[in-house]
A and B are shown apart, each in its own frame.
Chain A
Amino acid sequence: MSRIAATFHTLSQNNRKALIPFITAGDPEPTMTVLLMHELVSVGADIIELGVPFSDPMADGPTIQRSYERALKNHVGLKDVLEMVAEFRRTNTVTPVVLMGYANPVEVMGYQRFAVRAKECGVDAVLTVDYPPEECEEWLENLKQKKIDAIFLLSPTTPQTRIQQIAKRAQGFVYYVSLKGVTGAAHFDLREVANKLADIRSYVSIPIGVGFGIHDDVTASAVAELADAVVVGSRIIEVIEKSAKEDVLMNVSNLVKSLRNAIDKVSIKHRTAGIKR
């Protein structure tokens, strides 16, 4: 069983939902990334999403773009990100790591070279924002050979026929973009998310993560009611951005702890309800 499948298996046995924090590799400093990853795990992250900095992040909002710009100022590229994962793996062989990024850095590195190196470093899955399924057959083939999961996005505008097509290719978990817009946007319609997730569940058998727009305990627990995993990105990046360097670890840690509690309350509530029944 892959690390991701094992993680979701354990979670569901304990009736818990996954918390997936996102950080950008190299932000605020390259030396802090692995420390942050371990810290995230120690306060309750189930899976870590690690952003690969890119100069033109078209699908991201200003917060994540700024974090990419800080990382690029530190000259952090895809190769460095892979090194960071390898370093993380020296002391953590359990927590899945998902790389999230854009197509061009892997186009330049080459599909096969990336897949080989990513496997060696301990990457579990890759979400490439601008590789929709119809443009990446060869890419998927290379990932498959190395047993790296390809994670796909589904959006509020994805029609049913397309959800079915993506469901055939999706591995690990699917990532539902909960709103129209870029990462970090504010508006969020819970009922719309609930309806769409019900739709997706009828075609997708792997876990569903929800991200974009989850910015506090309330939204996190609301999403945990509906989905298998809660992805939080821009909110964490905001805390990193606003913190003095010596406080980054502590402030991120407090935020994620609080999100973890909010999500777990939901699971516990469900468990109690289940027992009553």
Chain B
Amino acid sequence: MAKVYDFPDMHGHFGSYGGVFVAETLITALDELRVQYEHYRNDVDFQAEYAYELKSYVGRPSPIYHAKRWSAYLGGAQILLKREDLNHTGAHKINNTIGQALLAKRMGKPRVIAETGAGQHGVAAATVAARYGMECVVYMGSEDMKRQETNVYRIKLLGATVVPVDSGSRTLKDALNEAMRDWVTNVEETFYIIGTVAGPHPYPMMVRDFQAIIGREAKIQMQEEYGRQPDTLIACVGGGSNAIGLFFPYIEDKNVNMIGVEAAGLGIKTGKHAATLLTGKPGVLHGNRTYLIQDEDGQIIETHSISAGLDYPGVGPEHAWLKDTNRAQYVAITDDEALAAFHMMCCYEGIIPALESSHALAYAAKLAPTLDKEKLLLVNLSGRGDKDIDIVAQAASIIS
């Protein structure tokens, strides 16, 4: 009998990846979190409340939509979209923040903190903090704050405080460093809501579990609506939470291909990209061992992507494991390719996708024409693109 996929192990390891690489000051807090989460993940009341919130507050289940016109235009496989963009707050991020906020509430923590890159996780964290009456502080790189002004305003509207981070490259990784520092300092009353499947154990597992609702729903919907499962799953990968959410329930279904799409930025050869799994080497950052974009001295290098949500030099440790074991394949899409897919989605389907999700769409647009019409590609449309229209407008005027 085939071995059942049961990662991570009790220490949070996915093979040699994952783990708990943090300073001693955080160990006790992480132990407490792990114990509490292990308890509540099997707690019927907790799971019932989580399910109810997803239904009544987020609007789940999110539908699977057949992009017929676009598929016909591409002239190959059928492209199906898992519509996470239709969730409350406009992205998959809220699946996770609701779960963690409910946990924070049960652990008696009145204050939550979060890091954010594109601002989607910050918005999702601020939203649930307002929903459950918690104090919320969001750390955001000052560079990202410029790129994502609307989301900064949104977070403030929701009653949260945004703290600009001016250290390092002033992007997501630096926001994460700063949030960790806050947590170390205020560890007793504060719950740190990490937005992706990175960080020290139990975060990669916990965030995955909360995001796995995406794949679990998809499995049921595919069976009901198409009578079978998709041939290939496609999702963008920055830290990798929307991808793991879709992939995880399918890991044992070996006839379903899984493709993670990283950001090739201005092109892999230019060095200005965020394709961690394709170009990085294993190392330790932000509490876990994983692939990292780094120099020969082990210093983390600044990444580039037109999409702030993919602009991260690390990647969730489970993706590192899925890559090494060849269970998932990873590819990269440039800024320009993502922009082209963005525009196609607008014009052919009347959907404005997030620039992050546009990377997954762009790869689907490459793959679909090479396959016959009966094949089904399920693309995770992880977020909507309203937040990105200024960037797209700017890029369009540069191009035209």
Query: Which of A's residues lie within 8 Å of B, judged by CB?
Result: 53-59, 61-62, 65-66, 69, 72, 77-79, 102-109, 129-132, 134-135, 152-159, 162, 177, 180-182, 185
Contact = CB atoms under 8 A, between A and B. Distances in A.
Contacts of B297: 77-79, 105, 108
A78 B185 contact: no
Nearest to A152: B24
B173 A108 contact: no
Given A108-B296, A108-B298, A182 B22 contact: no
Contacts of A180: 25, 184-188
B366 interface: no
B369 interface: no
A83 to B, nearest CB: 13
Interface string B157-187: 0000000000110000110010011001111
B152 interface: no
Lowest 8 A-B CB distances belong to which pairs?
Answer: A77-B297, A108-B298, A105-B298, A153-B24, A181-B185, A59-B23, A103-B284, A157-B28
Nearest to A156: B25
B331 interface: no
Interface string B57-101: 000000000000000000000000000000000000000000000
Contacts of A158: 24, 27-28
Contacts of B181: 58-59, 61, 181-182
Contacts of B177: 56-58
Nearest to A179: B185
Chain B contact patch, size range: 35 or more
Nearest to B27: A132
Contacts of B168: 55-56, 65, 69
A74 to B, nearest CB: 12
A149 B296 CA distance: 26
A59 B19 contact: no
27 contacts: A54-B298, A55-B299, A55-B300, A56-B174, A58-B181, A58-B286, A59-B22, A59-B23, A62-B167, A66-B167, A69-B167, A69-B168, A104-B283, A105-B297, A107-B284, A108-B298, A130-B23, A130-B287, A131-B21, A132-B22, A132-B27, A155-B23, A157-B28, A157-B187, A162-B27, A180-B185, A182-B185
A57 B284 CA distance: 12
A159 B185 CA distance: 17
B298 A134 contact: no
Interface of B: 11, 19-25, 27-29, 167-168, 173-174, 177, 180-181, 184-188, 281-287, 289, 292, 294, 296-300
A154 B24 contact: yes
B23 A58 contact: yes
A56 B282 CA distance: 16
A156 B24 CA distance: 9
The listed residue with most B CB atoms (<10 A of its CB), out of A55, A57, A135, is A55
A104 B300 contact: yes
A66 B180 CA distance: 17
A177 B184 CA distance: 12
B109 to A, nearest CB: 15
Given A62-B167, A157-B25, 18 more contacts: A56-B286, A58-B22, A65-B167, A65-B168, A78-B298, A108-B283, A131-B21, A134-B11, A153-B23, A157-B27, A159-B28, A177-B23, A180-B184, A180-B186, A180-B188, A181-B25, A182-B181, A182-B184
Contacts of A102: 284
A55 B170 CA distance: 12
A107 B298 contact: yes
Given A77-B299, A185-B185, A56 B285 contact: yes
A159 B31 CA distance: 11
Nearest to A61: B181
Given A55-B300, A65-B167, A155 B283 contact: no
B198 to A, nearest CB: 13
Contacts of A177: 23-25
A258 B52 CA distance: 63
B27 A77 contact: no
A181 B21 CA distance: 17
A61 B24 CA distance: 15
Contacts of A53: 299
Contacts of A103: 21, 283-284
Contacts of A162: 27-28
A130 B25 contact: no
A56 B186 CA distance: 20
A58 B165 CA distance: 13
A103 B180 CA distance: 16
B25 A59 contact: yes
Contacts of B294: 104, 108
A129 B23 contact: yes
Contacts of B284: 102-104, 107, 130
Contact of B25 (A62, A66, A153): A153
B24 A155 contact: yes
A204 to B, nearest CB: 14
A153 to B, nearest CB: 4
Contacts of A55: 168, 299-300
A130 B344 CA distance: 45
B271 to A, nearest CB: 16
